[in-house]
Amino acid sequence: MIFFYNLLTLFYLPIAFIKLFYKKNFSFEEFKRIRERLGSSKTFKFNKNKNIIWVHAVSVGEVNASVNLIRKLKKVFPNSDILVTTTTQTGSKRLKQVFDEEVFHQYLPFDVIYFVKSFLRYWKPHCLILIETEIWPNIINQCFSRKIPILLLNGRLSNKSLKNYQRLKNLSAVTFSKIDMIISQSDRDRKNFITIGANSNIIHVDSSLKFDALDYGSLAATFSYDENLIKKKKIITCASTHPKEEEILFESFQVLNDDSAHLVLAPRHPERSNEISEFLIRSNISFAFLNNDGFNHLNLKNKVTVVNEIGHLNFLYSISHTAFIGGTLIEHGGQNFLEPVKYGIPLSSGNSKYNFQEIADQLIELNILKCGSNVEEISSIWKMALKEDNPELIKQKSADYIISKSGSVDRSIEKIKKYI
């Protein structure tokens, strides 16, 4: 089966390059880093007497989830160096922001056997730590054949992902069986890992690393606003939204018909902000971009604000009355529910939550999160949220919830010690 998979990777390689080149944020700097995706590494100055702990975090979400884990690894294993690979440019950028030169970093090579072997010959990692579920057969097989322990942390395997893996059931079963340890986010994930072929004896269940990744440090303002006007306004922040969702959320806002409400649309990909502005113009509604000619300002005199750059969500949550989590009105599985939870505000979402099912179910049970599937339902949820007569209760429930789920980084490190 692996032979046919390797043939497929060679056929798919040109498509992978085309997709890479046609990304909107592809640049000359990214072009110069192409060789990293081919398994080649620039010359790093590292002590060959030190073990290399390899952490793979696909994109921004996984990088953020792994920040405290990486810091803890550096502290607990001072005689080891940390290599972190990412797949996306945004993940790479975030990693450099946090760690700069404290860790080694390059892109993960394409899962072509020649590239993977080249990568492993250069780095000779002592172990591989995968964040969430990024399973590549050649990487897993080559690590296994070199007796490199493979550890999967923050593991999640939704029913949808399980069905995808089962399309290549034999290959998936062999690949998952070679993982040495899995720490899954829920019992449902654990059952799915076992179904696909992982050894039940090596799977543990623990809360998400994202709980330990929540930052409670001082929050710097990332934009200005009228401090007198904000006392009269109730801000609804719709975060990490995807195509087609903004129109539904805007219609929900229109049905809400509350002059005290201000809608903030923060798309998952800010480069879509112009696309969003087009239907707002057609609707003849007053709106503004958050960033206008380099100046960040929330203009509350308008009805709607469109966030056209990254880096503002945390501050937006801190001044919002309620938040909607995007990627849930389409079959995407949802974005991160936890960031707004730390600000103790009521949440809403659509019904597609499989990426965060366990967390979403817990938030629903605590009455922090309410779900709707259409304009009328979402509008009704917002109406109740803006009239919340006991906001301190939700704040307390949110704080207690986060505390009850914290500590997974330390517990994971204790399990990792066995393999390093």
The string of DSSP codes covering 112-175 is -HHHHHHHHHHH--SEEEEESS---HHHHHHHHHTT--EEEEEE---HHHHHHHGGGHHHHHHH
- Domains 33-215+407-419 and 224-404 in one fold: yes
Instruction: Quick: pLDDT tens for 339-357.
Output: 999 999 999 999 999 989 9
Q: Which pLDDT value is given to residue 81? A: 96
Residue type at 313? L
Residue type at 312? H
Q: Which pLDDT value is given to residue 28? A: 76
Written out in words, the top-level CATH class of the domain with range 224-404 is alpha beta
351 φ, ψ (degrees, to nearest 5): -100, -5
Q: Which pLDDT value is given to residue 41? A: 83
Q: Where are the domains of the chain?
A: 33-215+407-419, 224-404
Q: Which pLDDT value is given to residue 219? A: 83
Q: Which pLDDT value is given to residue 131? A: 96
Q: Which pLDDT value is given to residue 216? A: 67
**C-alpha distances out from residue 120 to 54, 104, 125, 128, 418, Å:** 10, 14, 7, 11, 22
Give residues with Cβ within 8 angstroms of 304, minimum separation 6.
Answer: 250, 253, 262, 263, 264, 265, 280, 285, 286, 287, 288
Instruction: Quick: pLDDT tens for 135-179.
Output: 999 999 999 999 999 999 999 999 999 999 999 999 999 999 999
Residue 15, Cα to own-chain centre: how many angstroms?
A: 25
Q: In the chain, which residues have pLDDT < 70?
A: 24-25, 216-218
Q: Which pLDDT value is given to residue 217? A: 63
The helix (run of H) or strand (run of E) holding residue 85 is: strand 80-86
Whether CATH 3.30.1780.10 fits 33-215+407-419: no
**d(C-alpha 18, C-alpha 14), whole Å:** 6
Whole-model pTM above 0.85?
yes
CB atoms within 10 A of CB 11: 8
